[in-house]
Structure 1
Amino acid sequence: MSLSDDSLMIPHAAEERGRPTVREVAQLAGVSIGTVSRVVNEIPNVSPAVRAKVREAIGILGWKPSTVAQNMRGQASRMIGFIFSDLENPLYASMIKGAEDVLTQAGYLLVVGSSNDRPEQECSLIELFGQRQADGLIFTITDENHAEVLDSLARARFPVVMLERDVNVATAGAVTANHYEGTLSATRHLLDLGHLRIALVSGGRHNRVGRDRLRGFTDAYRERGLTPSPSLLRIDERIAEDAFGLRQTQILLSLPQPPTAILALGRHLLRGVLSACRARGVRIPQDLSLITTNDSELAELVQPAVTVIRYSAYELGREAALLLLQRLERRNDWHFSSIQVPTKLVLRQSCARI
């Protein structure tokens, strides 16, 4: 697209005011300041058409980038980005604290950003950290298969460590809790107590945590030559909604053959499960055994206290930071590596024998 004749008058006005600015280049080219920066710094994720517009505007205005800024390009910023999905999830606060303790000691600044479960916001944050010359990124992607987010990660010029997720990106390592073993142990415990109709209320198959939990659940049944009832698998991507646990428990308790035990595996679920049981007059553990995950004050203080699959969110953040530092030391060797944080079944009073 050619520039209008009126645009050619801008350099004269700029000369009267003094040295042209990057903002004027962006306005003349019809792009953001960040896009001008990417063109000047020869970052590849700019289309040829946009790149041509920016260079034409630079030529018209006679703008020259700051020598200081150019000299800084490529230097380490000593900054690490952390993108997480849910501001209301206290697990992320613990993960951030674990990562910060490691990175601060190593001389890095941790900068966090919330995507609010929006892939477009994740793309924007990845781009922003790239513009700010971040040295690396810790990331909890919302949808592991989102093409635009994966493309943004693939183009990033820094190493990435995924928290509780799997992605097919060569530069990404992974740190996760061992949700498979945790769910396997919890399901075995309920089967040992004589429960055959066990309900699984959990996140869906589009992230590693949900897949590992479902695999642990079904494998525990398979060990004993059994198959779980499909009607008791309440798996959904909307697990983050507070009402999900309440709604699914109401459905389960209304079945002709309701479950005798529930595995409520998600931070948002326990309150809804307990509310549904109270409304129906279902007693725990006399009428229904219950196991949850992500230990909380509610699980510990409610009567009876709820058995949990416990793991340390702080350790997840800490291990992610340590893995990222290792990858920063080997900038030309970013092969995939994975670390698992152990889980532990903490027995309390919410489970009883049939």
Structure 2
Amino acid sequence: MTQPAPTRAAGATIPAGSASGLADSGRRVFAIEAQALAAVAERIDGDFTRACQRILAASGRVVCTGMGKSGHIARKIAATLASTGTPAFYVHPGEAGHGDLGMITDADVVLALSYSGESDEVLMLLPVLKRQGNAVIAMTGRPQSTLARESDVHLDVSVPAEACPLDLAPTSSTTASLAMGDALAVALLEARGFTADDFARSHPAGALGRRLLLHITDIMHAGDEVPRIHADASVSEALVEMSRKRLGMTAVVDGDDRLIGLYTDGDLRRTLDDRGVDLRSTRIEEVMTRSPKTIGADALAVEAAQLMETHKISGLLVVDTERRVVGALNIHDLLRARVV
């Protein structure tokens, strides 16, 4: 009867030599791929410039394609281009030959990836693309390959060696192709004058979109929700207003609703420490904070967060250009909006 193979006991550790070997392997990969990237970086030349110019001149999109691992890299490049101001999408070359070529218009530029430059599925598309008038930018590791020769622009991403010790699994080569795609995206981003606000508009659901698109007016309390009292009100009346509006503060305004001071929970604690203060008879202007920090309604919510953090405060009044109080917000409003 065959005995089952022994299993490693729970909690057993890998021998020290093996653990060291694993770490050495990992470091070796980084070293090889860093060398590959350095080699490719030296080839950012006229071909790279021409590739960017072709894309900038096109009225259509960038269609990225590639098979296998190159296909995965092409898909990521398309996503990076699209999110940085260059409309792009991925087409599987195998599916393109069965109808998806209809997604590519004559205004588009095709970015074709194949490290060998001889992928049948990609080469099959070239006659159709040429007949349609598409500019083709190839990214290969073999400048003499069919794809490189038949393309309008060739980007050489050849690497000295793969990080795989068998020299089989695409490792350094895919890293180099990915970096070249990033280089294209960034160069095009800068050429287009693409801004952080533009980036946020294509990422509205993420944290970055919230940070860059959310304005004070989107989250502030306005109208009757804003706590405010006049300078001749008592501290006791200020406490009633603060309790009613539940923002931990109240604005102190003049007859034209212009801000002259602020009274907060912190000010209340300091007032109570002074045993000589009568809450009912002491006027709020005697104990309020003069010239408090404020923010404009058109500012970004993230600016309010930065202001609060810098000055160690938990609330802000929102004023217009004439210092009239138009809103209020506190740290809880920023937390609910997921700005902080």
User: Which protein shows a greater Rg?
Assistant: 2
Considering the TM-score relative to the shorter chain, is it more than 0.5? no
When normalised by structure 2's length, the TM-score is 0.33
When normalised by structure 1's length, the TM-score is 0.32
